[in-house]
């Protein structure tokens, strides 16, 4: 089974730029690449910061970009989003009984759970009691034989980049307690927010994150480092899942560096490798 993970698209009003880049143009390039190479994916998930300012025009722009995806897609909210505008403009967004942008969807490799960690007015992540109660009920109601895949915007752990760790998920310990009885069935945790390719494990749960499709967060582990955004290349994730493994590829879809075969029949391999690229 193949999934597409997109994150931090940060759309703005049409023709506006964000940190010197046009978010819609870069998202359109991602969608075109996905159409060309991964039309067989069963689902695409966008883990929040769909827009930068939470404006309705930006959600409309996102909707028109993503409408060209050949598979169903699930938009999630991040700290830059506005819940009401997201739900108003994106009718396919998940929604729980309390109006949070949360939900789940079953796939051939298990149940995907989408969490709403938005705390409007703050950049940090929040899972309030009502959202955690929904999560607990949903996990308990999932058939025991079903594996679980979790998606959220804010990481529940510190990744070592001080300025991002300050605005990670606040209720990490509470969240950990809720998922603990189901931990063995959680095959992977996907998040956004950090605008960087990071993978590892948290409390035994494998996780991965990705660069966004617009601007990035510069890598610096110094606690006194200035918080910098960068034009490192955008990426999207291609996730391959079967009974044995979860494989996450981060694809720099706008990379235009030269490529050529490793070897050419009839040419001396050494001379070819040492020749001009
Ligand atoms: Fe973001």
Write down the pLDDT at residue 29. Answer: 98
CA of 22 to the centre of ligand 1 (A): 15
Q: Which residues of the chain have pLDDT under 50?
A: none
CA of 193 to the centre of ligand 1 (A): 5
Write down the pLDDT at residue 26. Answer: 98
Write down the pLDDT at residue 174. Answer: 98
Write down the pLDDT at residue 239. Answer: 98
Write down the pLDDT at residue 197. Answer: 98
CA of 197 to the centre of ligand 1 (A): 13
Write down the pLDDT at residue 16. Answer: 97
Write down the pLDDT at residue 223. Answer: 96
CA of 251 to the centre of ligand 1 (A): 18
Other C-beta atoms closer than 10 Å to the C-beta of 28 total 17
- Measured between alpha carbons, how far apart are the two ends of the chain, in Å? 36
CA of 83 to the centre of ligand 1 (A): 15
- Determine how β-strand 229-230 pairs with β-strand 198-202: unpaired
Other C-beta atoms closer than 10 Å to the C-beta of 43 total 19
- Whether 195 contacts 231, CB under 8 Å: no
Write down the pLDDT at residue 62. Answer: 98
CA of 82 to the centre of ligand 1 (A): 13
CA of 28 to the centre of ligand 1 (A): 18
CA of 205 to the centre of ligand 1 (A): 23
CA of 73 to the centre of ligand 1 (A): 19
Q: Which helix (H) or strand (E) holds 244?
A: none
pTM for this prediction: 0.97
Write down the pLDDT at residue 183. Answer: 97
Write down the pLDDT at residue 189. Answer: 98
């Amino acid at each position: 089974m193949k999934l597409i993970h997109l994150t931090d698209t940060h759309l703005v009003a049409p023709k506006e730029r964000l940190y010197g880049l046009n978010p819609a143009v870069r998202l359109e390039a991602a969608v075109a690449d996905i159409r060309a190479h991964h039309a067989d994916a069963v689902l695409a998930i966008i883990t929040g910061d769909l827009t930068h300012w939470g404006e309705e025009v930006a959600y409309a722009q996102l909707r028109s970009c993503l409408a060209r995806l050949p598979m169903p897609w699930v938009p999630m909210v991040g700290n830059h989003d506005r819940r009401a505008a997201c739900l108003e403009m994106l009718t396919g967004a998940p929604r729980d009984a309390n109006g949070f942008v949360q939900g789940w969807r079953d796939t051939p490799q298990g149940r995907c759970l989408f969490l709403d960690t938005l705390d409007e007015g703050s950049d940090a992540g929040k899972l309030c009691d009502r959202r955690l109660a929904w999560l607990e009920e949903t996990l308990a109601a999932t058939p025991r034989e079903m594996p679980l895949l979790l998606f959220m915007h804010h990481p529940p752990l510190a990744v070592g980049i001080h300025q991002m760790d300050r605005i990670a998920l606040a209720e990490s310990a509470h969240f950990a307690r809720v998922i603990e009885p189901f931990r063995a069935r959680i095959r992977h945790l996907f998040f956004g927010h950090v605008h960087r390719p990071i993978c590892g494990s948290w409390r035994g749960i494998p996780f991965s994150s990705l660069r966004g499709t617009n601007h990035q967060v510069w890598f610096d582990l110094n606690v006194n480092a200035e918080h910098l955004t960068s034009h490192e290349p955008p990426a999207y994730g291609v996730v391959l899942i079967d009974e044995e493994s979860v494989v996450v590829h981060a694809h720099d879809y706008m990379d235009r560096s030269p490529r050529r075969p490793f070897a050419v029949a009839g040419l001396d391999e050494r001379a070819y490798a040492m020749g001009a690229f």
